[in-house]
Amino acid sequence: MNRRNIVKSLALMPLAAYPTLSHSRDKTQNSHGLDQSEADYSNVKIRKVRAIITAPQNIELVVVKVETDQPGLYGIGCATFRQRAHSVVSAINDYLDDFCRGKDVNNIEDIWQTAYVSSYWRNGPVLNNALSGLDQALWDIKGKIAGMPVYQLLGGKCRFAVDTYTHASGPTPEAVVEDVQKYMEQGFRNVRIQLGGYGSTHLSKEPAYKRYQFGSPDDNTLDANAYISGTVKMFDLVRQKIGNEVELLHDVHERMQPMDAINLIKQLEQYRPFFVEDPFSPENNGWFELLRKQTSVPIAMGELFNSPHEWIDPMSKRWFDFIRIHISQIGGITPAMKVARLGEWYNVRTAWHGPGDVSPVGHAANAHIDLAVWNFGIQEAPRFNEALLEVFPGSPTVKDGFMFVNEKPGLGIDINEELAKKYPAPKFDYNWTQLRKNDGTPVRP
């Protein structure tokens, strides 16, 4: 028996005992169409790594495609860092492609570890997103070779579907109540409530800095007192009108001074929030210890984290209850699984960041991890428009407030590259990160 046949027979042996398994390799082709009886997938070489940029929902999305030397075998992964999308494209096309060519797709951990240090300096958002696109594409390929969805490779299902929360908002507490009711009618049991946009800037009066022509004319203004009192009123009215049957979440979006955030959270305690998210900017991690001593409100943190130095210490000190990293911002499924496992031992649950600037491929990766890890907490639900669903066939679906993935091997999702070209990246809008206090001081998200 030659090496190729030994590999084949070993791969077939355990599954042959369970012929009813839907993922059985006891077929000529698996459901991805890969020929399992003749081909040897023990050493599949990377032929090319390339970035695809598209914006079907008018949000820049970057997806990596890893092509292999096996006909029809490729993988895709999310590398979306909307705010510097073109820099990520360069990191992929100008560096990772060259670095990866000829490597064996089977060795995900080895490729991740060597690519991670290939720039020497590391843990920044541009390089981590490029790495994530590569990493997720390799997991997609591994699933296709195995004939299994990625969640099976991560340990199998720990729950039947992924419980999610959606976003309700409005300019007034009354409008927020109506929005919450709308989503509850759609089956959502968990709703994030926000009074307007980030920092409720519509509540701010004309700021002094604009009278003195300081800053840019489009800059937003944060009035922390107006935001805090408005948010408390919103929680109060939602609980009065809707009662306790809905879980309420809230995102501070990091923009408060630490003591303002702590005061807000103490006032919200009586309304039993499911969690309050991102009370501090990542530079203020050290304030969590004080927050923890002041309130029992569950805290979610971490969408701006990029480096292990930002989460290892706070998680191991149990300073927050939910870790809500943006998975492509730390380098993909491989490091996210390590974060999830770390959290298991400290009872820190996952709540991965899942807004519109995660591609449907990234949402699929979120969902596959959500299904498999014991300490899953909750998932921010995606909202896909029709154009996005056409460009990304096989995207996860949301029904009754739960997210589902399909049973196709890999991440179960593809990209229609011809259609993707119809939606070029728009000019980036800097405005939403530009926020000032009354005197013009820039506020950090």
* Residues near Mg ion (CB under 5 A): 251, 278, 303
> Are the beta carbons of 330 and 340 closer than 8 angstroms?
no
Query: Min. distance of Cβ 73 from Mg ion in angstroms?
Result: 37
- Residue nearest Mg ion, CB atom distance: 251
Q: How far is the CB of 445 from Mg ion (least distance, A)?
A: 9
CA distance 291 to 279: 9
Give the tokens for residue 379. Answer: 């998932």
Residue 151 bears catalytic tag? no
DSSP string, 294-325: H----EEE-TT--SHHHHHHHHHTT--SEE--
Phi, psi (5° rounding) for residue 404? -125, 145
Beta strands in 142-185 (DSSP E): 162-170
Task: Give whole-number Cα distances, 217 to 83, 208, 214, in Å.
Answer: 21, 13, 8
User: Closest CB to Mg ion among 140 and 278?
Assistant: 278
We find the least distance from the C-beta atom of residue 303 to Mg ion, in angstroms, to be 5
Residue 253 among the catalytic residues: yes
Check: CB of residue 350 under 8 Å from CB of residue 375.
yes
Nearest CA to 385 out of 76, 52, 54, 65 is that of: 54
**Contact at 8 Å (CB) between 275 and 298?**
yes
Set 250, 253, 326, 363: catalytic member: 253
Nearer to Mg ion, 303 or 321 (CB): 303
Q: Give the closest residue to 143 by CA, choosing from 70, 79, 73.
A: 73
Per-residue tokens: 177: 């109540």
Sequence-ordered strand ranges (E) for 46-98: 46-54, 61-68, 74-78
Least Å from the CB of residue 109 to Mg ion: 30
Q: Which is nearer to Mg ion, 279 or 409 (CB)?
A: 279
Comparing CB distances to Mg ion, the nearer of 140 and 303 is 303
Which entry of 165, 198, 271, 423 is annotated as an active-site residue? 198
- Residue 338 to residue 298: CA distance in whole angstroms: 22
> Which amino acid makes up residue 420?
A
Least distance CB 348 / Mg ion (angstroms): 17
Contact 212, 438 (CB under 8 A): no
Instruction: Classify residue 245 by its DSSP letter.
Output: S
Min dist. Cβ of residue 184 to Mg ion (A): 22
Q: How far apart are CA 410 and CA 77, in angstroms?
A: 11
Nearer to Mg ion, 97 or 278 (CB): 278
> Residue 277 Cβ, how far from Mg ion at the closest point, in Å?
5
> In angstroms, what CA-CA distances link 167 with 182, 196, 209, 303, 311?
11, 11, 32, 16, 25
Given the complex with Mg ion, which of 18 and 432 has the nearer CB atom? 432
Nearer to Mg ion, 149 or 314 (CB): 314
Which CB, 192 or 368, lies closer to Mg ion?
A: 192
* 191 vs 179: CA distance, rounded Å: 10
In angstroms, give the least distance from the CB of 262 to Mg ion.
18
Enter the tokens of residue 271: 């309304």
Catalytic residues: 198, 253
